[in-house]
Structure 1
Amino acid sequence: MDIKRSHSKMAFEQPRIERVGTVGEITLQGGAIQVTDVPQGTPVDGNLDNVLGS
C-alpha cells in the first residue's frame, strides 16, 4: 500500500510543477508587457521614443 501511495503522490507532483512553470512564463511575459506599457504614459515616454527611433 505504501508503494501505491508514493506513485500517486509522484503523479500529482509532476503535473503541478509543469503547471506552475507555465504560469510563471506567462506571468513574466505579462509583467514585461505591463512594464513597457506603464512608462508610455509617463514623462519617460520621451526617452522611449528615442530608443524606439519613432
Structure 2
Amino acid sequence: MILFDRAKNGFKIYKVENIKEAEDVINIESEDKQLFYFDDFLGANYYEIISAQKQKHN
C-alpha cells in the first residue's frame, strides 16, 4: 500500500533484487522522487551493504 501511495504522489518506484541494481538506476542529481523496494530475504542485502561499508573503511 505504501508503494501505491508513493507512486500516486509522484515517486518513481524501482523494484531491485540487489544493491548493484539500485546503484545502476539511482540518480542523485535528478529532482525526481525515487523509492527503491527490495525484499531482503534472510538479510542477504543487509549483509552486502555492511560488507561493502567495511571494505570502504579499511
Greater helix share, structure number: 1
State the structure with bigger RCO (CA 8 A, min sep 6), 1 or 2. Answer: 2
Instruction: Name the TM-score, length of structure 2 as normaliser.
Output: 0.30
Instruction: Name the TM-score, length of structure 1 as normaliser.
Output: 0.32
Q: For the pair shown, which has the larger CA radius of gyration, 1 or 2?
A: 1
